[in-house]
C-alpha cells in the first residue's frame, strides 16, 4: 500500500469515526492543531519520530500536549501514526480528511486570497454571498498574500474571480504600453 493510499485509508476511517461521534469539525480542527505543532516544533517532531523513545513515553507526550486542545478522534489517529512510525503521513491524512469531509457534506471550497487578514464579519458575509450564488454550503479557505496589493481573488469550483489591485495595475500597465507614446494632442 502506498503512503498516499495509507493516508487516504486513515482519513476515511477517521471521518467515519468522527461522523459517529458528531465531531467532524472538531476532528478537522484537531488535526490542524496537531499538524501545526509538529511542523512548528522540531523537538516535538524529532521526539515523536525517534525509534529509541518508548511508545508509552510518546503517548504520554501526545496526551500532555494535545489532550485539552484536540478532539479524541484526532488524537487517536495522531497516536496511531506515531506508534506505527508513520508520523510523516499526518499532513496527507489531514488533507484527505478535509477532502472527504467536504465531499460527503456537499460543500464547495472557495479559496480566498487577500492582501490582509479577513475579519470575521467579512468572512461571514463572503460565505453567505457565495452560498447564495452557488446554492450550496461553502467552506472558505482564506490566505493572505501581500503581493496582490489589495482587493480579493476567489477561486471556487475551478473558476477564478480576480479583483486584486495587482491585476488591475498590470492591466493598466499593459493598456498604457499599447497606446502610442509621444504625447500627441487631438486634432493635430
Give CA–CA dist 151/169, Å, rounded.
12
- What sign does the dihedral 147-153-155-161 (CA atoms) show? negative
- Report the alpha-carbon distance of residue 67 to residue 51 in Å, rounded: 23
* Mean pLDDT, the chain, integer: 88
- In this predicted model, what pLDDT tens digit does every residue of 79-106 receive, in sequence order? 999 999 999 999 999 999 988 998 888 8
CATH class in words for 107-178: alpha beta
User: DSSP string spanning 27-72?
Assistant: HHHHHHHHHHHHHH-HHHHHHHH-TTS-HHHHHHHHHHHHTTTS-H
How do residues 164-185 score in pLDDT, each as one tens digit? 787 888 888 888 888 865 455 5
- Is the domain spanning 3-103 CATH 1.10.520.20? The answer is yes
Question: Is 186's pLDDT higher than 80?
Answer: no
Angle CA(105)–CA(131)–CA(139) in degrees, nearest 5? 50
* Residue recorded with cell 489591485: 165
The predicted pLDDT at position 157 comes to 72
Question: Which of the four pLDDT bands, split at 50, 70 and 90, describes residue 187?
Answer: low
DSSP class of residue 162? E
Q: Which residues pair with 40 in a beta bridge?
A: none
> Would you list the domain boundaries of the chain?
3-103, 107-178
What pLDDT sits at residue 158? 75
The helix (H) or strand (E) run that includes residue 101 is: helix 90-104
188 band by pLDDT with thresholds 50, 70 and 90: low
Indicate whether 156 pLDDT > 90.
no
Amino acid at each position: 500500500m502506498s503512503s498516499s493510499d495509507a493516508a487516504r485509508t486513515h482519513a476515511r476511517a477517521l471521518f467515519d469515526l468522527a461522523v459517529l461521534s458528531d465531531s467532524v469539525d472538531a476532528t478537522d480542527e484537531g488535526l490542524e492543531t496537531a499538524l501545526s505543532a509538529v511542523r512548528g516544533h522540531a523537538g516535538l517532531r524529532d521526539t515523536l519520530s525517534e525509534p529509541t523513545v518508548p511508545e508509552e513515553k510518546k503517548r504520554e507526550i501526545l496526551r500532555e500536549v494535545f489532550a485539552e486542545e484536540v478532539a479524541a478522534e484526532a488524537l487517536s489517529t495522531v497516536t496511531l501514526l506515531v506508534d506505527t512510525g508513520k508520523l510523516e503521513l499526518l499532513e496527507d491524512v489531514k488533507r484527505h480528511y478535509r477532502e472527504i469531509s467536504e465531499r460527503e457534506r456537499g460543500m464547495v471550497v472557495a479559496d480566498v486570497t487577500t492582501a490582509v487578514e479577513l475579519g470575521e464579519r467579512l468572512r461571514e458575509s463572503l460565505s453567505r454571498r457565495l452560498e447564495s450564488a452557488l446554492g450550496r454550503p461553502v467552506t472558505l479557505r482564506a490566505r493572505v498574500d501581500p503581493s496582490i496589493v489589495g482587493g480579493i481573488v476567489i477561486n471556487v469550483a475551478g473558476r477564478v474571480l480576480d479583483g486584486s489591485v495587482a491585476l488591475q495595475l498590470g492591466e493598466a500597465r499593459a493598456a498604457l504600453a499599447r497606446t502610442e507614446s509621444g504625447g500627441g494632442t487631438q486634432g493635430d
